[in-house]
Amino acid sequence: MQDKFEDSLIAQQLASLMNKLSSSSRVKRKVAEWIFEHGEAILGISIPDEDDLDVGRSRKSRKRRSSILSKTYSDRWDNENKLLPSAAWKELNELVLLASKKLKTSNKSQLQKNIDALSRELGFDAIETKILGLAVRLKCNESYAELCDKLFSSRKISINQLIAYMLNLPIRDVSQRLKYASSLLQTGIIKIGSDRWSRDFSDYIKTPDLVNLAIQDPNVGIRDIKRVILGLPCKAELTWSDYDHLKEDRGFIADIIKGAISENAKGINILLYGVPGTGKTELCKTIAKKLKLNIHSIGEMDEDGNEPRKKERLAALKISDHLLFKNGNSLLLFDEMEDLLENSFKSMFFGGSSMPKVFLNRLLENNSVPTFWTCNDIDQFDPALLRRMTLAIEIKSPPENVRVRIWKKYLKQNKVKITPNKITELAQMFECPPSLISNAVKSAKLANGGEEEIKLSIEKMALVAGRHIKINPLAGKEVIFRTELLNADQNLTALTNRIVNQSVMKNFSFCLYGPAGTGKSAYIRYLAKKMGMEVLQKRTSDLMSMWVGGTEKNIAKAFQEARQKKAFLIFDEADSLLRDRKSARQSWEVTQVNEMLTWMESHPLPFACTTNLMDNLDAASLRRFTFKVNCQYLTTQQTKMTFEHFFNLQAPDEIVYLKVLTPGDFAVVQKKAKILRQSSDATALVEMLKGECEVKQDIPSNPIGFNLSSKVQ
């Protein structure tokens, strides 16, 4: 159903346009073409063909329609460049003026009422309100857009001229309202731009899709408009205590937000980054709930329910910022900040446009409402952009004690029953984000399963998530570690007791070196457990990067992560990270070692490096290790003890002839024997151990070892 006010508005604007047009016949012909096509439906103007003038018309009616206008109408398709007779133009002008008087009404359409309401809320003046109305109608009125597009395609009239002529405004006033610093552009309600292939006026002046959706039926008034643009405030699903592992960070963020709200501070932006599923978004909502503030998530879907474009999201952010800044009780959330980035190659060849740095920088400097930003990886962002953040915090997978609580919560919610011991085992086995725990429990519930289905779900997800999920296969399996089964050049039992009994100094370090399988990493895990510390183990493959400077960043992150978790850090295969700089061929090999040395010197918590190639280590690194422990092959006495420990059998006499055994060899043979069902066959076990010795190529002629009777003095 057509709205009389909207038809009246078009008639008035068309009359204003026709009154101001110059003698350009091309522009006038475009106007005439539109009137011929839409005049009767919108304006009530009927123009008969030349042949119809004398058929069924009164003399009075025929006088109103000259043969010139009718002939122009009849010939409208013949030649686009044909001049429009001045007499025909004059008659058209008179008809449009007459139509505008007949259609005139004081009853505004709901569309106009909504435009007025939004303009008042954003503080627009009368001219800005008119320009906004024009831009909105380009989107929601097809015939109106066609009129503007026809005129603009002539290339005889500029954007500002067309707007000024249609709205009966001075061009100077229109130009002033469409400058970059104007309210219309700064609020994001209107965008002036161009498409390199388009000749349509509606592609040069645009309103965001979200605004078009909010301002049209069935929405009535500013409350409905705000509801569509802002959405409902987000509700937190987690509690403040769920983030106890981030006590310092969450408290600091909350204090910043409170201060910003109190002082109406501008440019407050909090960045939370980290692997997917660690609860970044939920933390934002939880902080808002704690502070009793509303938080609105920006641009999560467009008017069709699809993922919005980057520019639409940014426009929604700017508009939301202006709609909420007077409230003093609201926050904004821009999730998945990566959407701001766009592949420059794609932009170059497929017409996209990368976001100007200065635009984003100003956005972060001038926002009025404190805003949370979340992303998974900050490496792809310009440092200049990151520096403008008020605070940036990495959110990692929670520690074991928190994971236990998260497991209990989701198991209870989904009514999946697992014993407390098994819950602890799950928390130890899987170092993963809360979202994966939630999904695994839901999967088990749907499958009417329990512990095994949960494990299967996470193990399958680990194939996809990769480094975001760490699996500890030894969790729940009590491993009895005995220091006397390590052939070290120091008494590890006495050393362990002295370290554990002193609780003051924690900034010590170990370098354990020797053949593979001698128990170097196992001892550090044992020591960490005795000290009540979590272990953070890093392999060389976790740290080495293909990018220049990437390895150094990963090394720094490892030390920072250990500090955050208060964990005992272990570097396996440390010779790859601390290789002697004298043999370096590339500059990055030197900077990599320098980075390690710097962190080793300043790290406040215990850490250890293990290596099979002690001779390859840089001399400067050796000076930075508090304890250097040489772990070698088992002595004869230790070999017998280890045999009895692993197999619960008396060691055969012939085992003393095997000189290059390690605890790792016994672990391998134990597993092999279980598969072959020969765990009780001492002769078979010795043969298997002999096979492990024979495959080794670094057999020393005179192995050395720690005498069990020696003591730390």
Side-chain half-sphere CA neighbours of 295 within 13 A:
24
Query: Is the model's pLDDT at 607 over the cut of 70?
Result: yes
Reading the block at residue 232, the tokens are 């409902």
Return the closest-CA partner of residue 295 out of 271, 320, 274, 265.
Answer: 320
Strand partners of residue 281: none
pTM: 0.72
What is residue 356's predicted lDDT score, i.e. its pLDDT?
59
Mean pLDDT of 31-56: 69
What is residue 498's predicted lDDT score, i.e. its pLDDT?
93
What is residue 283's predicted lDDT score, i.e. its pLDDT?
95
Query: Is the model's pLDDT at 321 over the cut of 80?
Result: yes
Return the closest-CA partner of residue 406 out of 171, 225, 620, 242.
Answer: 242
Reading the block at residue 153, the tokens are 């395609």
Mean pLDDT of 524-535: 92
Percent of all residues in the chain with a pLDDT value above 70, rounded to a whole number: 85
Work out the burial of residue 592: count CB atoms within 10 Å of its CB; fewer than 13 is exposed, 13-18 middle, 19 or more buried. Answer: buried
453-480 pLDDT, tens digit per residue, is: 998 998 888 887 666 677 776 665 555 7
What is the full DSSP assignment across 684-699? HHHHHHHHHHHT-S--
What is residue 327's predicted lDDT score, i.e. its pLDDT?
84
Judge if the upstream peptide bond of residue 218 is cis by omega within 30 degrees of 0.
yes
pLDDT band at 1 (very low <50, low <70, confident <90, very high): very low
Domains of the chain from N-terminus onward:
1-47+85-220 (no CATH), 231-244+259-340+357-392 (3.40.50.300), 400-469 (no CATH), 483-630 (3.40.50.300), 636-696 (no CATH)
Greatest mean pLDDT among 59-73, 325-339, 513-527, 691-705 lies in 513-527
Report how far residue 45's alpha carbon sits from residue 39's, in angstroms, rounded to the nearest whole number: 5
149-194 pLDDT, tens digit per residue, is: 888 887 788 889 999 999 999 999 999 999 988 999 999 899 887 6
101-132 pLDDT, tens digit per residue, is: 888 888 999 999 999 999 999 999 999 999 99
pLDDT band at 56 (very low <50, low <70, confident <90, very high): very low
What is residue 108's predicted lDDT score, i.e. its pLDDT?
92
Reading the block at residue 20, the tokens are 């101001």
What is residue 51's predicted lDDT score, i.e. its pLDDT?
46
337-373 pLDDT, tens digit per residue, is: 887 765 443 444 344 445 556 777 888 888 999 999 9
What is residue 675's predicted lDDT score, i.e. its pLDDT?
93
What is residue 42's predicted lDDT score, i.e. its pLDDT?
85
Query: Is the model's pLDDT at 704 over the cut of 80?
Result: no
Side-chain half-sphere CA neighbours of 516 within 13 A:
11
The more confident residue out of 649 and 58 is 649
Mean pLDDT of 588-607: 92
Lowest mean pLDDT among 19-28, 316-325, 578-587, 653-662: 19-28
The more confident residue out of 374 and 478 is 374
Return the closest-CA partner of residue 431 out of 394, 472, 473.
Answer: 472
The more confident residue out of 608 and 29 is 608
Tokens 């900040």 belong to residue = 337
The more confident residue out of 696 and 347 is 696
pLDDT band at 286 (very low <50, low <70, confident <90, very high): very high
- Which residue stretches of 478-549 are H helix? 492-501, 520-531, 540-543
What is residue 669's predicted lDDT score, i.e. its pLDDT?
96
Mean pLDDT of 17-23: 80
Mean pLDDT of 535-559: 88
Mean pLDDT of 284-295: 96
The more confident residue out of 428 and 84 is 428
Mean pLDDT of 474-493: 81
Q: What is the residue-averaged pLDDT of the chain?
A: 84
Tokens 């003038």 belong to residue = 53
> 548-561: string of b/e by CB count within 10 Å (b at 16+)?
eeebbebbeebbee
186-217 pLDDT, tens digit per residue, is: 998 998 876 555 678 888 888 998 899 999 88
Strands 470-471, 487-488: pairing kind: unpaired
What is residue 584's predicted lDDT score, i.e. its pLDDT?
75
Mean pLDDT of 606-616: 93
Distance, first Cα to last Cα, the chain: 99
pLDDT band at 534 (very low <50, low <70, confident <90, very high): confident
